[in-house]
Amino acid sequence: MKLLITGGAGFIGSAVVRRAVAGGMAVVNVDTLTYAANLDNLREVEGAAGYAFERADICDAPAMRRIFETHRPDAVMHLAAESHVDRSIDAPAAFVQANVVGTTVLLEVACAYLANAPAAIREQFRFHHISTDEVYGSLGAEGHFTEDSSYRPNSPYSASKAASDMFVRAWGTTFGLPVIVSNCSNNYGPYQFPEKLIPVAILNAIAGKPIPVYGAGLNVRDWLYVDDHAAALLTIVRRGRVGETYNIGGDSEASNIALVRTLCGMLDEVRPEGRPGQGSHADLITFVADRPGHDFRYAIDPSKVKRDLGWTPSVTIEEGLRRTVVWYLENAWWWQAIRERGFAGERLGLRRTA
């Protein structure tokens, strides 16, 4: 199977590319290389047999048509997206362009490609759209999102992903494109761009800077180790049923403040020299004004993907967080290069723009 993976230089996309290439699959990585994309994420697959990189914007229909016709993929895994909630508060139009317009361009190109493809490709082709649990909105203290949960997006980011999910389903029903949708919980692990909670907490702690936590830190998320997610996605694109939705979760709920305190405790263990005579890294935790419209809780019920496809998360949150802390400590070259490009880890999502 030859996979065309959009957003393959991003955090989740690069994990999928690395795993697919390691498994002997042919991969065409399409990425426009926005601020959060990083070809350093893919050093281990550079020059690998069957791997190709195309720098292109999914909103560019002529470029997408050329890439489809040149590489003739058997399946599309669509991960390219603007994904940071705080950035969507500051600049929502960019999320509509990338996540909604970009997805519809890709759907149109995929339909045209498939209409003229050989029977062997048409029979196995899949358009796998990768989305988020945030489309379902906010949960109270109990309950879990299932594939039948109603969509109630509350941020510009989640609204743009909800819209793209609906367009994918519409292309499946109206035009017969063989589509699959998956919605995942919060990912974490190596190579995550340092604007999300976990890398911000780790890198600020290393630098002795305040670790910002929104509100009282009581918002709860289900956490999914990125390599487990990549394994689930590759299982779905190979064996998932056309027209189905699969929710992928890590069975690992934690509040933001509990998560950050755990990270600080791990840093105290593995890097005690980091704050000699200054107490725990947890002393750096600083509560800041909450994000507008901050959803209280997300929790995924992954029973369907476990039952139907045999996938299950293999990394506990304790082990995943420890691996992540160690990775950031041992790979300063990666995040220092990002800092040198001008990203200082500033807080976003404080204002709205017209």
101-133 residue pLDDT tens = 999 999 999 999 999 999 999 999 999 999 999
Span 90-100, average pLDDT: 96
User: Using CA atoms, how far apart are residues 66 and 117, in angstroms rounded to an integer?
Assistant: 14
Strands of the sheet containing 26-31, edge to edge, are 51-55, 26-31, 2-6, 75-78, 126-132, 179-184, 245-248
Residue 351 pLDDT exceeds 80 = no
Q: What is the pLDDT of residues 232-273, one digit of tens each?
A: 999 999 999 999 999 999 999 999 999 999 999 999 999 887
pTM for the model: 0.95
* Catalytic positions, written as ranges: 133-134, 157
Exposed / middle / buried, residue 204 (Cβ in 10 Å: 0-12, 13-18, 19+): buried
Task: Looking at the structure, give the CATH architecture of the domain made up of residues 2-188+224-250+301-309.
Answer: 3-Layer(aba) Sandwich (3.40)
Helix (H, G, I), strand (E, B) or coil at 230: helix
Quote the DSSP letter at residue 195: T
At residue 198's C-alpha, the angle toward residues 194 and 204, to 5°, is 65
Q: What is the pLDDT of residues 131-167, one digit of tens each?
A: 999 999 999 999 999 999 999 999 999 999 999 999 9
Helix (H, G, I), strand (E, B) or coil at 28: strand
Q: Which residue has the tokens 């720098």?
A: 55
pLDDT score for 188: 98
The amino acid present at 192, given as its one-letter code, is: Q
Span 88-102, average pLDDT: 96
Residue 291 pLDDT exceeds 70 = yes
Residue 352 pLDDT exceeds 60 = no
